[in-house]
Chains A and B, each alone.
Chain A
Amino acid sequence: MRFPDQMRWAPGSARSIPLRYGLAVVSVAAALGLATAFAQFHIPQTFGAFALSAIAVTFWYAGTKPGILAALLASIVRDFLFDPQTSTESRLLFDLVFLVFALLMTQVVRGRNQLELKVAERTAELTQLNDNLKHEIAKHNQVEAELRLSEAYLAEAQRLSHTGSWAWSPPPGNIRYWSEECYRVQGFDPKGGLPRYEIFLQSVHPDDRARIAEVIETAVRNKEEFEFDYRIVHPGGEIRDARSVGHPVLDPSGDLVEYVGTIIDVTERKQAEKERERLREAQADLAHASRMTTMGELTASLAHEVNQPITAAVNGASTCVRWLTRDDPDLTEAREAASGVIRNARRAADIINRIRAISKKGESKRQLADVNELIREMIALLRSETNRYSISVRAELDADLPKVMADTVLVQQVMMNLIMNGIDAMKEADRDRELAIYSRRTENGLLTVSVSDTGVGLPPQQADRIFDAFFTTKSQGIGMGLRISRSIVESHGGRLWAADNSPHGASFYFTLPAPADVGA
């Protein structure tokens, strides 16, 4: 039998053999000594008892084999030193006693060893379980720490974004949960505990109560999501804007369990939106004012432009009268001429409408626009102006141009501005005066328009300064045209820039993004 080193009671396995057998000898010798001593004091026959003790001690501390040796030694010693006269039978009887005792001790030691083994096994088991438990606890602690951390981050995120989360059970009777930020957004003290629904309702602005009650009622009835804005009156009287979003939680059988959602303080956002709206209006007003200024400069030209179709209409009417005033009136010809009158009168009306459209304040309505058409209209509108300065206009417009989402009035304003600038640049030019307008679709889906002149060109080194507000090289004019044009183009998501035209003059380019999913 191999004993584990930890076993306390088998030091014999760890100790050397001489030590163990030495114990057998020593213990028997000690028994002998003690018996002899006791005999001196007139106490006879004690060797048997001491010998048995010696055998027991040896078995216990040194193991089975040394124990047997001790038994043998004791037997021999007893036989020869303490009882030489006794008969062989009684000697054998004593030997038998020692033998039986030795056998007993063998069993005792074996039993002890097995017990020790069991105990060691059990201890090992328990230790293992204990370790596992400690491991589990450590893991649990870690998970809890992570959870707490993530909760802290969440609370912080809610606080930073002024978003609170809530849950209530329908019909809106019980508020089940409010996150800390939810309390703050609603103007309640987190330490005050969950308020009753009626108390919460009192914090809602009186004008909004009916509306949100209806929205919630409809949503609950249909078990659907809801979203609404409303005003909260904080304890101090301050009014904040809030946006609440909620969605229903259903149980497996489809019944409504509760509503969960968020509430966000959108006061700053709403204010920013109002500011942006005001800014947009101001920009629109400015663009309009600039447009009207230009239209004022164009009055004569526009009048001339309207005059052309009116002249044609008068010609047609005169022709019609002539065909009818003959001796032999030609009704076919007269009809033809009269049709021409209608056509040309309509053309005149179209021009007037175009002028009116450009002069409108504009509601910033974005619609799918054909930029080529806008360009053609503007060229037509300004034809008298280009004629006035003997400027020839060449337009090469890509037929494959995509439609873009744009405010047509504003885009026409940009075209008007660029063309007018081109005309101004060429007014005094000696050489051939040509205004070239191109429209093209580029590879990356952008729409590019360019307006080139053969005039005075860009001021050197100041190519980008021309887009500054109030920059002008003209004797008249405020200098806002290019600035406004650039902001119009940029508000559509495009870019406006200038470059030198070779050999003379300047070119202005602007891009507009084309919607990806629009077919041309």
Chain B
Amino acid sequence: MSCHKESKLVAIVDDDDSVRVTLQELLRSAGFASQAFESAEGFLASGHQQETACLITDIRMPGMSGLELQARLNSERCKIPTIFITAHGDEQMRFQALRAGAVEFLPKPFDDEVLIDTIRAALNR
């Protein structure tokens, strides 16, 4: 399975309603279209992986974690540029995520400029 690179869709995966919603609003104000999912499973089941040009995901979630999602996508050969946002960023986790191909690893709360710039970079790749 290969993923379309022309699409500009950003996918958000976070189990916290408020983070999800405000992140979507933030992206909208920056001119990005986005789709939000409550869980990694929900994202995978939606079948939107192919259209997703950038994935923003939390790490700690009930059920499949963000890192597990990354691994899954990697195994499906669907390399979506992934930005991790998490409150639990320790050095080891950061290193692990980046080594698995993550574009960025941001602690919560994050600087919106950094996020937007990273997304832009990922989309223009």
Contact = CB atoms under 8 A, between A and B. Distances in A.
A57 interface: no
Contacts of A318: 26, 112
A391 B25 contact: no
Contacts of B112: 314-315, 318-319, 322
A344 interface: yes
Nearest to B24: A315
Interface stretch (A96-104, A247-255, A380-388): A380-388
A319 B29 contact: yes
A393 interface: yes
A307 B109 contact: yes
Given A319-B25, A319-B29, A391 B62 contact: yes
Interface string A290-322: 000000000010011001111111111011001
Interface string A306-345: 0111111111101100110000000001001100100110
Nearest to A317: B112
A317 B61 CA distance: 25
Interface residues of A, number: 32
Interface on chain B toward A: helix, strand, loop, or mixed SS?
loop
Given A319-B26, A337-B29, A340-B25, A312 B18 contact: yes
A388 B60 contact: yes
B87 A308 contact: yes
Contacts, number: 85
A318 B61 CA distance: 25
Given A308-B19, A344-B18, A347-B18, A316 B25 contact: yes
Interface string A210-236: 000000000000000000000000000
A304 B18 contact: no
A311 B64 contact: no
Interface residues of B, number: 25
A304 B60 contact: yes
Interface in B2-50: 15-16, 18-19, 21-23, 25-26, 28-30
Nearest to A434: B62
Contact of A312 (B22, B62, B64, B88): B22
A392 interface: yes
B52 to A, nearest CB: 20
A307 B108 contact: yes
A315 B63 contact: no
A309 B17 CA distance: 9
Interface string B98-125: 0000000000111010000000000000
A464 B112 CA distance: 54
Nearest to B88: A304
A114 B5 CA distance: 151
Contacts of B64: 390
B108 A322 contact: no
Contacts of B23: 315
Contact of A315 (B15, B25, B60, B62): B25
17 contacts: A308-B16, A308-B108, A311-B87, A311-B109, A312-B16, A312-B22, A314-B112, A318-B26, A319-B22, A323-B29, A333-B29, A336-B25, A340-B21, A384-B60, A386-B62, A390-B65, A393-B62
Interface of B: 15-16, 18-19, 21-23, 25-26, 28-30, 60-65, 85, 87-88, 108-110, 112
Query: Closest 5 A-B residue pairs measured CB to CB?
Result: A318-B112, A315-B22, A312-B18, A314-B109, A311-B109
